Amino acid sequence: RLADAVTPLWRLKYEEQLQVKYEEQQKILLQLSAQLAQGADSLAAVPWTRGQLSFPLLPTQPSPVKDGYRNKSTFSVNRGVDGNPKTVGFYVGAGRDKNIVCVHADHLQNVPEKHKLVARMYEEFMRISPLEPCLLFHEGGHWREVTVRTNAVGDTMAIVYFQPQSLTPEEINYHKAALVDFFIQGPGTACQLDSLYFQESARTRCSNEDSPYQLLFGEAHIYEELLGLRLRISADAFFQVNTSAAEVLYRTVGELSRADGEGTLLDVCCGTGAIGLSLSGKVQKVIGIEVIEQAVQDAEFNATLNGVPNCEFLPGKAEVLLPQLMPSLSSEPNLIAVVNPSRAGLHYLVTRTLRNCAAIHRLLYISCKTEGEAMRNFRELCCPPDRQKKLNGDPFIPTLAVPVDMFPHTAHCELVLVFER
């Protein structure tokens, strides 16, 4: 059941998985075409049509690694099949049906063995700890999920999340010491951790700025090699979960950008700077925007580490920074935009600002969930001008779409959609 829930395509041959994802992206893009056709300008250069795409959708680009490809996994804590609340794994069931069960990840094809080992060891630690797990915040308990990050050479970082409730700092320090002892001198030494982080938080998700990640032992960062770059990755920084497929994705973006050594690349939601750094040799300047401050610090460090002088990375919300930045870019002769938002898509102010910047003639949108909020972004970029919504710029037209399989065995993939005007 867990494999079917987390990796629903695992029974299919890989070529069949790629075709399933192609057909799903085709269906979503046809829905976009139909929606745009309803309000299309009859004089538009490329009239929208229902039932067929007006631009090519290329075959799904395969991932070079199919099994154990995840470089980051987050394991939940809840009641297992046997009812033990100190079980570490992934959920089967639904909260609304009150039938959630936490199941070990041992049989999942996309999770590496090292991640599974850390999860098992964390479970073993919890079961000897006198503290209870935190299943629901209002019910008490302390131990929460664990995140594992690894790189291609096997370096391993673990991040344990903890609900302090009413414990004193001295009491929390005691249990932190027990956690360190377990992984340095106890059974957890089998994990050969290079870093162990600890975050106290009374909320489900909490940034490093709100509640700092505490390094209990080991190296502060993990490093990864990608397209000839060496990249530093902090505990909470975004990095694509499949490194080898990320190389395929960023190489595809580089080719589709048509960057020719001139102009500026605007990299929105830039994370640790991988896209901008990989394209830095094809443009005169890269400007990256990222909301996670640690990721911006990583991006700046990565630029220096790789000897890239033409990159500037700005910390903050894109919907705040981008409108401030655009007046200085409006006269750029060759401005290319690449956006790589989370599943929540781009804030409306971001799409409006991009649309209203006449200097942008080519925009690449990387989406991991095209059927969600990205669809709203696509409509905002492509609909006829709308004064009420302050969408005054000429509409973009999608000219090419390329799916990239970042997540073998799952139903998900990344889609690179090229917009031009």
Catalytic residue numbers? 368, 414
Question: What gap in Å lies between CA 85 and CA 68, rounded to an integer?
Answer: 27
Could you tell me if 275 and 226 are in contact, meaning their C-beta atoms sit under 8 angstroms apart? no
Non-local CB neighbours of 405 within 8 Å, separated by 6+ positions: 17, 18, 21, 60, 61, 62, 63, 245, 413, 414
Question: What gap in Å lies between CA 24 and CA 411, rounded to an integer?
Answer: 9
Strand order in the sheet with 311-315: 311-315, 285-290, 264-268, 335-339, 360-367, 414-420, 397-404
- Rounded to the nearest 5°, which phi and psi values hold at 350? -75, -50
Question: What gap in Å lies between CA 419 and CA 58, rounded to an integer?
Answer: 15
Q: DSSP secondary structure string, 67-128?
A: SS-BSEEEEEEE--TTS-S-EEEEEES-GGGT--EEE--TT-TTS-HHHHHHHHHHHHHHHH
Q: Check residue 282 and report its DSSP letter.
A: G
Question: What gap in Å lies between CA 321 and CA 325, rounded to an integer?
Answer: 6
